Amino acid sequence: MLPLVLNKSDLGAWIEALAAQRRVAAPVLKETSPADRTDLKFGWEYIADPAEVRLDYTVTVLGPKKFLWPARQTVMSYQIGADPRPTAVLDHEPHVLFGVHPCDVTAIQTLDAAFSKDIADPHYLARRADTAIVSIDCAAPCDETCFCLDMGSLYPEAGYDVMLTPEGNRFFVEVKTPLGEALVEKAKVRPATKQDMQARQKFAEEKRGNFHFQLPFEVKYLPEILDASYDSLVWEAIARRCFACGSCNTTCPTCYCWDVDDDVAVDLTKGCRVRRYDSCQLDPFAEVAGGENFRKDRSSRLRHRMFRKGKYILDQTGRSGCVGCGRCERACVADISIKETFIQIAGSR
C-alpha cells in the first residue's frame, strides 16, 4: 500500500473506531513529579478515552509486553480425582497496541522467536495472533540511558502492522501488513503528496543526526566479548552494588523466564496451574532439589543476566536479548547500567 497521511485532529476518531472492534492499549500519563512538572512518567494501559493516549511519550516504565506475556497467567485447569480432565486455558481477546516505539517492536519480535522455538507456546502465540501493533517512530533518544542504535532496534523492518511518523500537525502512515490495511480502513487518511514525502525524508535525516553509537565496539562482537570476560573480576565488582531485587528483569521487554505454581481449591476437588514472572537475579532461581544452587553468588547471577541479554538469547533465537531501551538501568536502585557494563567488560579483557 502506498504511504498515507492522517491529520492529528483525526487521531481520536480513528482510535474510537478501532476500540469498537478491539480493546486498545496505549501509553498514558501515569505520574508527574511534584518537584519537577517536567518529570513525567508514562505507562501502558487499556484506554477508555482517546484523549488519554500520549504519543508524545518518551519511555514507559514497563513496555507493552504485559499484554502478550502477563505477569501472572492461568495456563490450565483440572479436576482432582480419577478423571482429572486437564483443560488448557487460552484467555485473551483481540486488541491493538497503539503507539509502540521501535525498540519495543524489536523486543516483541524477540519474544515471538523465543515462544515459537522448539515446542511453541500456545498461550503466548494465541495472544500474539490477536494483537495488532501500531508503531510510532522516534525522532530522538528517550534519554541518556538509551542505546537502541547500537543494539539494532531503532529501525525495525517488521513486527508491526502500521508505522506512524509524526510530522507537525499530521502523521505519515506506512502500512506493513494486511491487518494494517484493515486498521487503516477505519481512519480518515489521504494519499501522501510529494510534500509529505519530503517531510518524511526530512524527519529521517534529522533522526539520523539525533542518534549516536555509544558502545566502543560493533554489537556483532558482543557475544565474543562476553565469552572472553567470563572470569573477569568486573562481575564481582559490579555485584557488590547489586541488591538482587530483580527489578531489571521485571522491566526488561525481552525477559521471559517464569515459574509455575498450582492453586488448589480448599475442598481439594479442583485446581489450576499458574505461571508467573521469575527473575534470574533472585537467589532461589537456580536452586534445585537437595538445596544445591548453581548461581548462589550475586556475581554469577549478574553475569548470567548480562550473558542472557548479550549472547544466550541471541544464540537460542537468532535475535538480540537487549534492545537498548534502558529500562533496567532506570529501575535499578544501585544504578547498574547494562550499557556501562558492556563497556567495562570490553576494556577488561
Question: pLDDT (tens digit, 0 to 9) for every residue of the chain, 349 residues total?
Answer: 899 999 999 999 999 999 999 999 999 998 766 555 556 789 999 999 999 999 999 999 999 999 999 999 999 999 998 888 899 998 889 999 999 999 999 999 999 999 999 999 999 999 999 999 999 999 999 999 999 999 999 999 999 999 999 999 999 999 999 999 999 999 999 999 999 999 999 999 999 999 999 999 999 999 999 999 999 999 999 999 999 999 999 999 999 999 999 999 999 999 999 999 999 999 999 999 888 999 999 999 999 999 999 999 999 999 999 999 999 999 999 999 999 999 999 986 5
Is the distance from CB of 196 to CB of 168 less than 8 angstroms?
A: no
pTM here is 0.94
Q: How many CB atoms lie within 10 A of CB 3?
A: 17
Instruction: Parse the chain into domains and list their residue ranges.
Output: 4-348
- Classify residue 45 by its DSSP letter: E
Cell (9 digits) for 84: 482429572
The contacts of residue 128 (CB under 8 Å, 6+ apart) are 68, 112, 115
pLDDT given for residue 34 in this prediction: 56
Distance from the first to the final alpha carbon of the chain: 50
Largest CA distance in the chain: 71
pLDDT given for residue 91 in this prediction: 82
Is the distance from CB of 303 to CB of 234 less than 8 angstroms?
A: no
pLDDT given for residue 92 in this prediction: 86
Nearest to 25 by CA among 42, 52, 46: 46
Is the distance from CB of 43 to CB of 82 less than 8 angstroms?
A: no
The number of C-alpha atoms within 13 Å of 5 and in the hemisphere containing its C-beta is: 16
Cell (9 digits) for 316: 537460542
d(Cα 318, Cα 112) in Å, to the nearest integer?
11
